[in-house]
A and B are shown apart, each in its own frame.
Chain A
Amino acid sequence: MRLTGRTAIITGAARGLGRACAVRFAAEGADLVLVDVAADLDEVPYPLGTAEQLAGTAARCREHGATVLTVEGDVRDEAAATAVARAALDRFGRIDVLVNNAGIAAPAGKAIHEITEREWAVMIDVDLSGAWRMIKAVVPAMLDRRDGSIVNIASTAGLVGYRNFAGYVAAKHGIIGLTRAAALDYAPLKVRINALCPGSVRDDPAVEGRMLSEIARCLDVPVAQHEATFVQAQPMNALVEPADVAAAALWLAGDDARQVTGTVQVVDGGFTAR
């Protein structure tokens, strides 16, 4: 039980990696504040998480004995980010962990000169600035206690480029820069910030994941073909499981990583080793 008595905030928690992290943290004794926009966005060409899915994540966490607070909120909204931090403190009195997981994979699938101003803006606003807003809202409580761990979910797209995904790649590269800068800002006050870069993650029905399929759709290739491509591209010859990413996030969140900050942890089956 590595997170007993701790409070973790996880954004994008309705499904996917957010749900995988939430359930794993609950199993390790954490109490949780689960955040999701629980609504679709105009610019995003696929359905986002729903309130029902968010409640579903909360129910799975409660099965492990966690006390869970759910908040519907958009990381593009500074007031919403502040409200999340406020709710966490009112209910639990402390914030130990923040997992900046909320993110969108599309609009994508086009070369740079074809991306519209609005498409570019929404991508950066959610995937990069959203993490910044959440850090800003949460970090004062961590600094007061001289303790805290922030895990920014980036991507291998934060390390290498992908064709026709410039906005996503730029945002994820930005997350890694944000991580390094924040780590230096707060290391003297014992608050740690690390980035986590998953490779291609399997769409696990247990967490209602759909990232892989949405990326395939953007690239206009059959899901099975896209999957096969990445199984080959990742030297372990397998897709990454959501549980693999959750395990890495758990390590970064907990005391085992107490000297780890400003790092980029890669969970990609060896993809970036080539």
Chain B
Amino acid sequence: MDARHFFTHPEYGTRPERATHGLVVPLPAGGLAGGSPVQVWSQTLPVPRRHHEAARQRRRELRRPVPAPGVRAVLLRYADGRADLVLSAHRAALGPADLDRLARELTGAATPGTPPAPGAPPGPWTAPVAPAPAFGLGDGTRAGRYARAELGSVPCPRPEPAQLVAATALVLARYGEPAAFAVVGPDAVTVAVPEVADDDTLDALTRRAEAGLHAGPDADRLPALGILLPATDPAVRCEPAAPPFPVTVAWRWQPDGRLTGHCLFDEAYLAPAVAAAFAPQLLRAAAALAGRPLSTLVSDVELMTPEETARVLGAGRTPAGTGRRRGTVHAAFAALARERPDAPAFTDGATTLTYGELSGRAELLAAAMRDRGAGPGTRVGVCLDRGAELMTVLLGVLMTGAAYVPMDVRAPADRLAFTVRDARPALVVTDVDGFPEVDGVPLTSPDKLRADGPAARPVASAGGPDDPAYIIYTSGSTGRPKGVLVPHRNVMALLDATAGDLGLGPGDVWTLFHSAAFDFSVWEMWGCLLTGGRLVGVPYWVSRSPEEFHELVSRERVTVLSQTPSAFAQLRDADAEAPRGLSVRLVVFGGEPLDASALRAFHDRHPRTRLVNMFGITETTVHVTTRTVTPADMASRSRSVGTALPGWSVSVRDGRGRPLPFGAEGEIWVGGAGVAAGYLNRDELTSARFRPDGHAGGTIYRSGDRGRLRPDGQLEHLGRLDNQVQLRGHRVEPDEVRAVLREQPGVTEAAVVVTGAAEEARLDAYVVLDGGSATAVRRAAARMLPEYMLPSTVTAVPALPLTINGKLDVAALPAPTGGEPPAPAADPPPADGITGALLDIWGSVFGRAVTVDDDFFELGGNSLLAVRLFAAQSRAGLPRVSLRELYLRPTITRLADAMANAPAGTGA
């Protein structure tokens, strides 16, 4: 395909001026030679040639499109008697060399030839243009507005075209967005799709670029980026009238031996701040390719200047707050308890402990634990359900100077044993029957501690801000769980960073919704108790029942909620059906990526409730960034997780730890006040993930999350580095598929999981439907998703199962059914009365026939589904049962027995 074809129908987009190029020729004193082959428009300007108005007019003339027949000549006369000939042409009619020849003819420098043959008239300008690259951070509302960024200028031998192609490919790869781009030479247009690997030599990259140049263009659409190679004859100054591509890089090589150029960009494709760094990086890459030994590795090419690095690091850093909160967690609590001993601190069911009572009880336990070996430098395992007892023990552990190692009461015994073996606590405080005995680590319970305790002489509080306050075990994507050591200083910094902005204070009522083994609870407990609020323990059963949890939030007048987006989605649904209002003024989201569009309904109902999204990692003390979700975020499905908390810093870096420019996709690194002390007993892993930061100082944590940083310091979170899967050669992001499924009519929730490995890998989708069928969802999704992103199966489930921590529980999802309803069971035995009614209800809720002995959970039941069952039961006039009852009697037979003994309309 030659240049002529490329620049006309249909690949050119809707802007004919992109197909135009032009020349400015200063005229000799004699003016134009006679007998022009083209019409010459004449215009007189009332200013001299050097006047800026004259320059402006020349630019305007060059930018005008030229429709067929393809050439325009304008004679500009100036007040000082000088004149310019501005020649512009449609590229389909006249190439640069033809244009130059015509200029020479018109000015008498060459003998007149035949008039240029008109090119084919430009067709309808309808071809689609490639979408904006994600790294560009373009603003769609500024589409069509062009700005210019200079490449700069370096002394450089004349670059080969392949070197400029290789340079462009190298920079695009560094931005994480290798894509095809157009290469416009004097006589031909090609599309380059060079592959770039970090361990390529520059020589190999250049050779591949040379070969890639001959690849045929992708005629489907105009590439988003194109480079214009320098003219071969420096005497011909040929410029595009308008940027032919949304991002057009025009290279120039000056006869004085300098490589230079500029980048014209549509602001919908590149943000000016991104372009300002991107453009000079192209020049740096080109200079490296032209000047370095060709054995240099691609990854050795340094694209960022120290100034650019400082700029991105500065944008990702938020200065620390007041710094007034120092010392230890328990000392801060003790100070509050002394100040306001009678203020309510912890509500557990009908009982509320004051700050004074909580402090006094914790001191007693602390004394007993100290007698059993707890103290600075030691650890105490704690495995209790989320109530006043848990809170008292944790506080007591801190008072001894030890760090607490929280364990979930519902964790499997193997996991508990592993944690104890790894953490080697001085003792474990638990009331769990059958807690595994490990290597003689003593087990005790709060009751025993109180009974056996010393004659209650409270101990002086011990420990310092650099001692670990807690060790929370996180299961990485691979390998065994690892304990993260988080010092007191970090927790205090977290409070310092958030209390002011979120207005946390004694008027607040918080919930302790999460297991102590999930670090969201650190935020709930200490965020509340170190700012004077009242903490309401949420019993496990209630945390699993959105209806009951909503009731608790309403009854206790809770003001601050901390929720994972998955758990909140269930609360939101319960709220939509609840008559009572909520006193919640703040919801903090954490633990999972938030899809802001899911908040719209709740926001409409509670417009005054502030919704704050926090991206966080256990290794950086619960939270990292904060963003108050705006209605605009809800509309745009923003992936921004906000800016770093005061005292925290975020940067996006490449595989070698070098900060990447704004917009580039890379790994999120977190520094500052929240970085944990490391992993317990895992020195190698600690030194791999917690690194001295050569760029900003201090210790920095490599998160393993993908992201990009915006010039205003907003971080976009793009999922896990390892979340991205290769499916039949395509890179697929399951979250992206999930987002599309959620937009289908009738779909209220969706999950997409990757099963199998390597070539066997495939996507299975699960949807929660509010009408419609899984088959219809799959059909609809097929219209939105490329074939390789289409899930192999779409299975309707009544609700998405959640883990103890409120995240999607992949293991609890049923086997995919491919969207087809399960075969109905054989004729069910006739049933009547309660049993018959239950069979109908279960059948309709599960969407399939059930038998009286089917187990609720084996059918895929969970708390949300239970809520639906209860609603249907009460509509049918059946006796009410509690969630606990259902868990205990999970079949229709056993449930009907229980109901038969309970009067209709009352609790069982």
B39 touches A93 (CB 8 A): no
A93 touches B20 (CB 8 A): yes
Give me 6 A-to-B residue pairs in the complex whose CB atoms sit less than 8 angstroms apart, sorted by A's number: A92-B64, A93-B16, A93-B20, A93-B64, A144-B16, A146-B14
B541 on the interface (CB 8 Å rule)? Answer: no
Distance (whole angstroms) from the CB of A143 to the closest CB of chain B = 8
B72 touches A145 (CB 8 A): no
Q: Which residue on A lies nearest to B63, using beta carbons?
A: A5
A67 touches B43 (CB 8 A): yes
B65 is contacted by which of A31, A65, A67, A94 (Cβ under 8 Å)?
A94
B889 on the interface (CB 8 Å rule)? Answer: no
For this complex, into which size category does the number of interface residues on chain B fall? 20 to 34
| A67 to B67 CA separation, bound complex (whole angstroms) | 19
B125 touches A145 (CB 8 A): yes
A91 on the interface (CB 8 Å rule)? Answer: yes
Q: Which residue on A lies nearest to B20, using beta carbons?
A: A93
Give chain A interface residues in 81-109, CB to chain B under 8 Å. 89-94
B57 touches A93 (CB 8 A): no
Q: Given A65-B53, A67-B43, A93-B20 in contact, is the A145-B64 Cβ separation under 8 Å?
A: no
Give chain A interface residues in 54-80, CB to chain B under 8 Å. 65, 67
A94 touches B16 (CB 8 A): yes
For B903, the chain A residues whose CB sits under 8 A away are none
Distance (whole angstroms) from the CB of B242 to the closest CB of chain A = 10
| A146 to B41 CA separation, bound complex (whole angstroms) | 27
| A5 to B241 CA separation, bound complex (whole angstroms) | 12
B124 touches A144 (CB 8 A): yes
Q: Which of A31, A90, A91, A144 has the most CB of B within 10 A?
A: A144
B208 on the interface (CB 8 Å rule)? Answer: no
For A145, the chain B residues whose CB sits under 8 A away are 14-16, 125
For A92, the chain B residues whose CB sits under 8 A away are 64
Interface string of B44-61 (1 = CB under 8 A from A): 000000000100110010
Q: Given A144-B16, A144-B124 in contact, is the A93-B60 Cβ separation under 8 Å?
A: no
B667 on the interface (CB 8 Å rule)? Answer: no
| A91 to B67 CA separation, bound complex (whole angstroms) | 10
B806 on the interface (CB 8 Å rule)? Answer: no
| A89 to B20 CA separation, bound complex (whole angstroms) | 14
| A196 to B57 CA separation, bound complex (whole angstroms) | 32
B64 touches A146 (CB 8 A): no
B125 touches A146 (CB 8 A): yes
For A147, the chain B residues whose CB sits under 8 A away are 14
| A89 to B65 CA separation, bound complex (whole angstroms) | 9
Distance (whole angstroms) from the CB of A160 to the closest CB of chain B = 40
B67 is contacted by which of A5, A65, A89 (Cβ under 8 Å)?
A89
For A141, the chain B residues whose CB sits under 8 A away are 67
B519 on the interface (CB 8 Å rule)? Answer: no
Distance (whole angstroms) from the CB of A68 to the closest CB of chain B = 9
For B60, the chain A residues whose CB sits under 8 A away are 5, 31, 67
| A93 to B89 CA separation, bound complex (whole angstroms) | 10
Q: Which residue on B lies nearest to A31, using beta carbons?
A: B60
Q: Given A5-B60, A67-B60, A144-B16 in contact, is the A93-B67 Cβ separation under 8 Å?
A: yes
Give chain A interface residues in 206-252, CB to chain B under 8 Å. none
Beyond the given A93-B20, A93-B65, could you list 14 further A-B residue pairs with CB under 8 A, ordered by the A residue number? A5-B63, A65-B53, A65-B56, A67-B43, A67-B60, A89-B67, A90-B41, A90-B72, A91-B41, A91-B72, A92-B64, A94-B65, A144-B16, A145-B15
B57 touches A67 (CB 8 A): yes
| A89 to B15 CA separation, bound complex (whole angstroms) | 14
| A141 to B16 CA separation, bound complex (whole angstroms) | 11
B267 on the interface (CB 8 Å rule)? Answer: no
Q: Which residue on B lies nearest to A4, using beta carbons?
A: B60
Interface string of A139-163 (1 = CB under 8 A from B): 0010011110000000000000000
For B57, the chain A residues whose CB sits under 8 A away are 65, 67
Q: Which of B63, B66, B122 has the most CB of A within 10 A?
A: B66
A90 touches B39 (CB 8 A): yes
B17 on the interface (CB 8 Å rule)? Answer: yes
Distance (whole angstroms) from the CB of A30 to the closest CB of chain B = 11
For A31, the chain B residues whose CB sits under 8 A away are 60
B125 touches A93 (CB 8 A): no
The 3 closest A-B pairs by CB, nearest first: A93-B65, A93-B64, A146-B14
B64 touches A94 (CB 8 A): yes
For A144, the chain B residues whose CB sits under 8 A away are 16, 122, 124-125
| A147 to B17 CA separation, bound complex (whole angstroms) | 13
Give chain B interface residues in 120-171, CB to chain A under 8 Å. 122, 124-125
For A5, the chain B residues whose CB sits under 8 A away are 60, 63
Give chain B interface residues in 26-81, CB to chain A under 8 Å. 39, 41, 43, 53, 56-57, 60, 63-67, 72
Distance (whole angstroms) from the CB of A208 to the closest CB of chain B = 24
Interface string of B558-594 (1 = CB under 8 A from A): 0000000000000000000000000000000000000
| A93 to B20 CA separation, bound complex (whole angstroms) | 10
For A89, the chain B residues whose CB sits under 8 A away are 67
| A6 to B273 CA separation, bound complex (whole angstroms) | 28
Distance (whole angstroms) from the CB of A85 to the closest CB of chain B = 11
Q: Which of B20, B53, B122, B124 has the most CB of A within 10 A?
A: B124
For A67, the chain B residues whose CB sits under 8 A away are 43, 57, 60
Q: Which residue on A lies nearest to B65, using beta carbons?
A: A93
| A93 to B57 CA separation, bound complex (whole angstroms) | 15
For A94, the chain B residues whose CB sits under 8 A away are 16-17, 64-65
Distance (whole angstroms) from the CB of B848 to the closest CB of chain A = 47
| A266 to B60 CA separation, bound complex (whole angstroms) | 35
A93 is contacted by which of B14, B17, B43, B124 (Cβ under 8 Å)?
B17
Distance (whole angstroms) from the CB of B554 to the closest CB of chain A = 44
| A85 to B65 CA separation, bound complex (whole angstroms) | 15
For B125, the chain A residues whose CB sits under 8 A away are 144-146
Q: Which residue on B lies nearest to A68, using beta carbons?
A: B43
Q: Which residue on A lies nearest to B44, using beta carbons?
A: A62
| A94 to B63 CA separation, bound complex (whole angstroms) | 11
| A93 to B21 CA separation, bound complex (whole angstroms) | 13
For A91, the chain B residues whose CB sits under 8 A away are 41, 72
Q: Which residue on B lies nearest to A91, using beta carbons?
A: B41
For A93, the chain B residues whose CB sits under 8 A away are 16-17, 20, 64-67, 72
Q: Which of A91, A92, A93 has the most CB of B within 10 A?
A: A93
Give chain A interface residues in 12-67, CB to chain B under 8 Å. 31, 65, 67
For A65, the chain B residues whose CB sits under 8 A away are 53, 56-57
Distance (whole angstroms) from the CB of A166 to the closest CB of chain B = 42
Distance (whole angstroms) from the CB of A188 to the closest CB of chain B = 12
Distance (whole angstroms) from the CB of B88 to the closest CB of chain A = 8
For B67, the chain A residues whose CB sits under 8 A away are 89, 93, 141
For B122, the chain A residues whose CB sits under 8 A away are 144
Q: Which residue on B lies nearest to A67, using beta carbons?
A: B43
Q: Which residue on B lies nearest to A63, using beta carbons?
A: B46
Distance (whole angstroms) from the CB of B835 to the closest CB of chain A = 61
Q: Which of B15, B39, B60, B63 has the most CB of A within 10 A?
A: B60
Distance (whole angstroms) from the CB of A26 to the closest CB of chain B = 13
Distance (whole angstroms) from the CB of A262 to the closest CB of chain B = 22
